[in-house]
Chain A
Amino acid sequence: MAANLMLVKGVATSMEPKPVAKSVVAVPPPEPPARTPWADAIRGILSAVLPRVLGIIALLGLWYFAAQHSAYLPGPGKTFHSAVEVFADPFYQHGPNDQGVGWNLLASLERVAKGFGLAALIGIPLGFALGRFASLSKAASPIISLLRPVSPLAWLPIGLAIFQAANPAAIFCIFICSVWPMIINTALGVASVPQDYLNVARVLQLSEWKVFTRILLPASIPYVLTGAKLALGIAWLAIVASEMLTGGVGIGFWLWDEWNNLNMEHILIAIVVIGVVGLLMEQGMTAIANRFDYRQR
């Protein structure tokens, strides 16, 4: 087809679909039954918020009831007063083993960031390679299947043996446990890129780099971010446990330290803090995932 597009410039307007004759009589849509907008808004808020509030009240009630019948468990009121004290000065420093909850939390977040970042740096490219090359995937799959179910803490002694220090060993733990979901999900994302898109790439004879940047990467980003979200959740679970063993500073260490001090209020506060931070991280990752998901735009 030597014919060229330049020749047909100008005639192109004739190609546009012809407009359909508009109906002459406009029928107004039937009026919905009259309702005050305020009542609707209040009803909407109530149906969204009320069940959640009731759920929390039920939990607090259960907690209160359990505390009444236990010698060790402090009630919600007592815990709340203790929390006010703790959060009044979250960044005090009385030596290496007595620091505010803020410092402990930041130390844990730093370890998670390092281990998780390292896992992303290694896991995502590795996942791409596994997804793209079937033979590589076959070679790696028994190793991944064997190592993935191992508890993060099982790696701690190996980390300690390698690094001869507690902090890098904890980061190593985070790395190991969060790298698997990244590898697996990235590889899945790349392997499940629709064949249609790859056929387009084949017909256009795109270079491997173009295939990567224009097709594989955008198509698999939702999977990659799902992997990252799972990895971050596991990392947050693992850091608390490994800090209990390694000591130093960290929210997990703080929790265990307060057990040694028999300060049950602080233990409960730590649990709530761990939960809230985990929740915020998950919400953040979900927001990022939606932002980069081409299906959500």
Chain B
Amino acid sequence: MTAYLEVDHATIEFKTRKGIYRAVQNVSIEVEQGEFVSIIGHSGCGKSTVLNLIAGLVPASSGGALLGGREISGPSPERAVVFQNHSLLPWLTCFGNVYLAVEKVFSGHQSKTQMRERTDEALALVGLTHARDKRPNEISGGMKQRVGIARALAMEPKVLLMDEPFGALDALTRANLQDSLMEIQARLKSTVVMVTHDVDEAVLLSDRIVMMTNGPAATVGQILSVDLPRPRNRLQLAEDTRYIHHRAEVLRFLHSGHGAGAIAA
């Protein structure tokens, strides 16, 4: 039986001036519906490339990706992306940014009032009702990222793709947003694929962690199942032996030379 979301023996190459650069090679990942999967690895190992493949922003040179049994051939609102640098349009308000996405997905089968309500609900979900009419340059980095999440969730995507969503934030804001994300995901049962280089973030949030070897020709080195009960609490987990064990396992992978050379998948 095939998984809900499947990356199947994908190899992705880019044409550069020096010739063909093979970013990732023979990557296979399976994600079940409602599962939270993180992809972790060193910088430049092609984690984002894999995410962009699922998003449909980058084509595979061989192999490919499937969602619900259908091949992914291009970007689509059913696979919403939360970008690392939030990518909000600076000339629209928070409401306007989310509404742009809502309008795209629901216009035709919902009235304007319904779409406005939907937008307001998405902003409420991330706790930003008060910043509804502010422009992105008037709010903090953490709030911008919340708007980015609200924009993605408002589209009711089949898969939520997050590309180092909290990478540019300070530690406290990051923790706050991680907690929010866990609550939202628990409530909406969203299927999430997140790229990160933060070990704690990966263990805290994920059901499974996909560890990638270093590029070029990066591939999946190891997959770790995180069997910690939900809801998870970061303070309790800090002393949980299983948490510490999982964390150590990821760290060992990243620092043990596994990450250094490509290994056969």
Contact = CB atoms under 8 A, between A and B. Distances in A.
A50 interface: no
Interface string B84-107: 010101111000000011001000
Interface in A165-209: 196-197, 199-200, 202-206
A197 B176 CA distance: 26
A42 interface: no
B89 A215 contact: yes
Contacts of B118: 5
Describe A's contact surface by its main secondary structure: helix
B183 to A, nearest CB: 7
B238 interface: no
Contacts of B80: 203
B160 interface: yes
Nearest to A207: B104
Contacts of A202: 57, 75
Contact of B124 (A3, A9, A206, A219): A9
Nearest to B89: A197
Contacts of B83: 196, 199-200
A6 B126 CA distance: 14
A214 interface: yes
Interface string B122-148: 101111010000010100000000000
B153 interface: yes
Given A214-B89, A214-B100, A5 B76 contact: no
Contacts, number: 101
A17 B13 CA distance: 42
A196 B100 contact: no
B127 A12 contact: yes
A40 interface: no
Contacts of A204: 77, 100-101, 104, 155
A202 B126 CA distance: 24
A3 B77 contact: no
B84 to A, nearest CB: 9
A7 interface: yes
Contact of B85 (A9, A14, A196, A206): A196
A218 B125 contact: no
Interface in A231-289: none
Contact of A1 (B57, B101, B137, B156): B156
Q: Which of A7, A12, A196 has the most CB of B within 10 A?
A: A12
B127 A8 contact: no
B183 A5 contact: no
B158 interface: yes
B210 to A, nearest CB: 20
Interface stretch (B23-31, B186-194, B215-223, B224-232): B186-194
Given A214-B100, A297-B135, A5 B121 contact: yes
A5 B125 contact: yes
A5 B104 contact: no
A14 B176 CA distance: 12
A131 to B, nearest CB: 18
A3 B100 contact: no
Interface in A88-119: none
A78 to B, nearest CB: 54
A25 interface: no
A14 B186 CA distance: 14
Contacts of B89: 197, 200, 214-215, 218
B156 A17 contact: no
Interface string B157-187: 1111000000000000000100010011001
Contacts of A1: 34, 156-160, 188-191
Interface of B: 34, 55, 57, 75-77, 79-81, 83, 85, 87, 89-92, 100-101, 104, 118, 121-122, 124-127, 129, 135, 137, 153-160, 176, 180, 183-184, 187-191
19 contacts: A1-B34, A1-B157, A1-B189, A5-B156, A7-B187, A8-B187, A15-B125, A15-B126, A16-B127, A197-B87, A199-B57, A200-B87, A203-B77, A203-B81, A204-B104, A205-B104, A206-B100, A219-B91, A297-B135
Interface of A: 1-9, 11-17, 196-197, 199-200, 202-206, 210, 214-215, 218-219, 294-295, 297
